A and B are shown apart, each in its own frame.
Chain A
Amino acid sequence: DAGVIQSPRHEVTEMGQEVTLRCKPISGHDYLFWYRQTMMRGLELLIYFNNNVPIDDSGMPEDRFSAKMPNASFSTLKIQPSEPRDSAVYFCASSLYTDTQYFGPGTRLTVL
């Protein structure tokens, strides 16, 4: 299995631009998670889906962030407009009902 796939691996953009991060979960997994990691705040859960339906988005920082899962094999996290404080590593993870979460390699986002 290829594991969780995230793209791009690195993204550098300017303040005010739209950023879209992509994730392909492990085939057959029914849960998908988006996390953000910064030095100041550590690893935080932003949102998670079950069977493509958002279950808990209480960690989404503000309306500039949105996440979608149009099908079982693809999810996006969009930031519009981006700000320098959004600079972080964004991880996607997936799991089956067994609880073990499998994380992707992450996307390092830099907003100038």
Chain B
Amino acid sequence: DAKTTQPPSMDCAEGRAANLPCNHSTISGNEYVYWYRQIHSQGPQYIIHGLKNNETNEMASLIITEDRKSSTLILPHATLRDTAVYYCIVKVEGFQKLVFGTGTRLLVSP
């Protein structure tokens, strides 16, 4: 069973920041938060992951609340190519199984 809750869909204007929330209220102390996305007809793509500190890479930023019960993926300047389904997954680092939920379908419009 997926351990995360995400809104089914979100809209964002091109060039604006896209903030995708994820609730994981039952997260354990050794579980990380991972984000993947799936652009239409393609395989999922890794974006970012973190434990409790905020993380940033060339694709996105991950903000995890202090109690670790929720997080937000931020795409700072969304483009049309960011239209995709975004999956938030919690798992223990080193444990290989990814359990995908239903994700958030992000639509970036001109």
Interface residues in chain A, defined as those with a beta carbon under 8 Å from any beta carbon in chain B = 4, 31, 33, 42-45, 48, 50, 55-56, 91, 93, 95, 97, 99-106
Contacts and interface: CB of A to CB of B under 8 A. Distances in A.
Interface in B15-71: 34, 38, 41-46, 49
5 contacts: A99-B49, A99-B93, A99-B96, A103-B44, A105-B43
Given A43-B100, A45-B99, 16 more contacts: A31-B96, A42-B102, A43-B38, A43-B87, A45-B98, A50-B96, A55-B96, A56-B97, A91-B44, A93-B43, A93-B44, A103-B44, A104-B43, A105-B42, A105-B43, A106-B42
Nearest to A103: B43
Main DSSP-derived SS at the B contact region: loop
A95 B96 contact: yes
The 4 A-B residue pairs with the shortest CB-CB distance in the complex, in nearest-first order: A103-B43, A43-B100, A100-B46, A91-B43
Contact of B46 (A48, A91, A102): A102
A103 to B, nearest CB: 3
Most B CB atoms within 10 A — which of A44, A55, A103, A105?
A: A103
B94 interface: yes
Contacts of B87: 43
A42 B43 contact: no
